[in-house]
Amino acid sequence: MTAMHDELTDQPQTQPLDADIVCTGFGPAVAGFLWTLTQGLQKPEMAGVESKAMPGLPPQIVCYERADDISFGVSGVVTRARAIRASIPNLDPAEIPLAARVRNEKLIYLLDPLGVTRRPAWMRLADQLCRAFSGVLGVAHEGMALPWVPEFLHKRDGFIFSLGQFNQWVGQQVMMSGLAQIWPATPVAGPLIEEDRVAGVRLAADGSEVRAALTVVGDGPVGAVGRQLDEHFGMPAGHRRDEWAVGMKMVIDLPENCTLEEGTVWHTIGFPEPEIFGFLYVHPGRIASAGIFVPSWMDSPVRTSYRYLQHFIQHPYLWRHLRGGRLRSWGAKSLLESGRRGEPFLAGDGYARIGECSGSTNVLTGSGVDEAWLTGTQLAEAVLELLREGKPFTGENLENTYVARRRASWLEHESQAAEKARNGFQWGLLPGFLGMALAGLTGGRLSLPRPREDRHPKKLTDYYAGRLSRSEIERARQRAEAESRPLHDILMDMCGWPPVEYDGQLLVSHQDALLMGGKVQAPADFPDHVVFRSPQLCLQCEAHLCVEICSGEAIRISPENPAGVPAFDREKCVHCGACLWNCPVSNIEFCAAPGGLHSAEN
């Protein structure tokens, strides 16, 4: 007790800190914001602009990032980079590790080589036709490159990035300007809201208040600040956030004999489940990123991402290139796929929202990083305008500058085209593909209507009807609880999915992926950031989707308490936030905390 007391009293007193602009999160949106803002502040016309928080000095701009380094973001980025190139016209990918120009882009239909996926009849028929006419259709290795990549999907004039490396590069340039400070390992607990005005943020580490005239909210789809603003201000009429996905990826050292060229981009459909889309990008230096997206509209109650990812990379079409490779990095994140329908109020008194948490991701083009960057640059241009004119950061002024720029840009135009593109997936897979094609090929003028009720995960017994009996499922559940194994692993085994033969290099256990790939860390001095609010609700929950979706196996059914509240191990948490949107009764508190992934290559 004495030691703890001493430590606490050793801490300096927390006094409110003053800044002019405080940013939450350092992802591509805030990177774009700070890049544009710091460049703009160096122009002669901004020479007279000084800080209101610290008169006599330049505007005081701080950014707080939750992760332990600014390069620990997760995203396999293949992007047309229109906005990034507009900001950085001389961008040379050679300056940024793992960056390359897109050279060879394909859309691949992957057949089911195992005969175990939940394919609808039309897809099974498609597989049979593909095999029967393989010579004519060019089917090889259980995959077929479609004859063209739809215009709305292509990235042929763009770049492949590692978001971590890109953020690192941008962050260095921004900080070297001396005009902005980016603080890693500094999670923000929430906004300071005073009479519907955002007056700054509160830091999680010591409860410090950082007061600022403008709070820039770019803390991603599951960020604490964005969610609290949504709770306080609500969402615009008709807007809601109900489409999500877990994106999980590996960065792989390709084997010596691999013939894939740098700049290769494959988008895949069809495997490991029809609802799961995949990708493979080839970076310079014989390195590839491969990953999958597990969507919220997939009606499986056992939405394991890691095991699906292992089966994905072992598909013959990919495995012929990846076999013998080595896991270099691994990571996962939540993607907000509601697009413009999930757009919150973009600005208000004292705050503006940018990036994925502002609904900028385009679900039709499968693009988010460039869009996020663009929203950041638009806000920075607006801020420069307001600073130049000496106007305050009121909701009205931000609407007239930032939101107006956004509405007039290609982002808005393309977001509208994409707004209803995913409606069809709420009806089923075929309507989903048709709906996407319809919206994509008509620029959003035509689309399928959305059903009154969205698709939700089924009950286990319904989902496995015809494949596993109720008693088999019950036995699997008991086994999972007794052995403290994920239920999905056992159920997939029972449905005929082959076991994954670990090679210790690329095919490794989930826990080894956390250690070898994600390098996951948790600081000792923070409390658990995932909290189950009501034990009673957990007791009533049959599905425990939080356990099944958890990207790091950090949430488990404890053998000591099999029917009760799941156990949370923060040393395994990658902060993807998937538990948050998978809990059917919103019983999870997901707080901001440092730690998580420590790989700079995702």
Partner 1 sequence: MPYQIIVCGGLAPDPLQTLEPVFDPAKPSLKNELMLPAVFDPWAAHALYEAGHLAKQHPGSLVRVVSLAPKAKLQQVMMTVAQKLPFELVALDGPGGGFTDAAAVAAALADAIAAMQDLDRSRLLLFGGWESATRGAGVVMQRAAERLGITEQFLAVDELSVDADGSLLVKERIEGGRHQISRCSSPPAMLAWATGNLPEPPNHPQTGMANMRVIMPALQKAKPVTLEPSAEFLRTALPSAIRQTRVVKDVPAAEIAQEIAEWIRQ
Positions in the binding site for partner 1 (CB under 8 A) = 10-12, 14-15, 17, 62, 64, 68-72, 96-97, 165, 168-169, 171-172, 175-176, 178, 181-186, 203, 205-206, 208, 210, 285, 328-329, 484, 504, 509, 511-512, 515-516, 519, 521, 523-525, 559, 594, 598-601
CB of 98 to partner 1, least distance (A): 8
CA distances 307 to 178, 192, 236, 406, Å, are 45, 41, 38, 40
Query: Which is closer to partner 1, CB of 12 or CB of 147?
Result: 12
CB of 182 to partner 1, least distance (A): 6
Query: Which is closer to partner 1, CB of 71 or CB of 423?
Result: 71
CB of 150 to partner 1, least distance (A): 34
Residue 368, CB-side half-sphere exposure with 13 Å CA sphere = 26
Query: Which is closer to partner 1, CB of 39 or CB of 329?
Result: 329
Query: Which is closer to partner 1, CB of 25 or CB of 424?
Result: 25
CB of 127 to partner 1, least distance (A): 37
Alpha helices in 390-486 (DSSP H): 395-398, 404-407, 410-418, 429-441, 460-463, 470-483
Report the candidate in 421, 423, 356 with the shortest Cα–Cα distance to residue 576. 356
Query: Which is closer to partner 1, CB of 98 or CB of 229?
Result: 98
Cβ-based neighbours of 43, under 8 Å, separated by 6 or more: none
CB of 417 to partner 1, least distance (A): 36
CB of 370 to partner 1, least distance (A): 21
CB of 119 to partner 1, least distance (A): 34
Alpha helices in 138-249 (DSSP H): 163-176, 224-233
Query: Which is closer to partner 1, CB of 516 or CB of 580?
Result: 516
Query: Which is closer to partner 1, CB of 202 or CB of 450?
Result: 202
Query: Which is closer to partner 1, CB of 34 or CB of 336?
Result: 34
222-251 per-residue burial string, b: 16 or more CB within 10 A, e: under 16: bbbbbbbbbeeeeeeeebebebbbbbbbbb
CB of 202 to partner 1, least distance (A): 11
Q: Per DSSP, what are the bridge partners of residue 24?
A: 64, 217
Q: What is the DSSP string of 455-480?
A: --PPPHHHHTTTTS-HHHHHHHHHHH
Report the SS3 class of residue 276.
coil
Cβ-based neighbours of 231, under 8 Å, separated by 6 or more: none
Query: Which is closer to partner 1, CB of 35 or CB of 425?
Result: 35
CA distance 209 to 190: 10
CB of 535 to partner 1, least distance (A): 23
First vs last Cα of the chain: how many Å apart? 42
Alpha helices in 455-596 (DSSP H): 460-463, 470-483, 487-494, 510-512, 535-540, 545-549, 578-582
CA distance 237 to 214: 25
Q: Is the peptide bond before 431 cis (omega within 30 degrees of 0)?
A: no
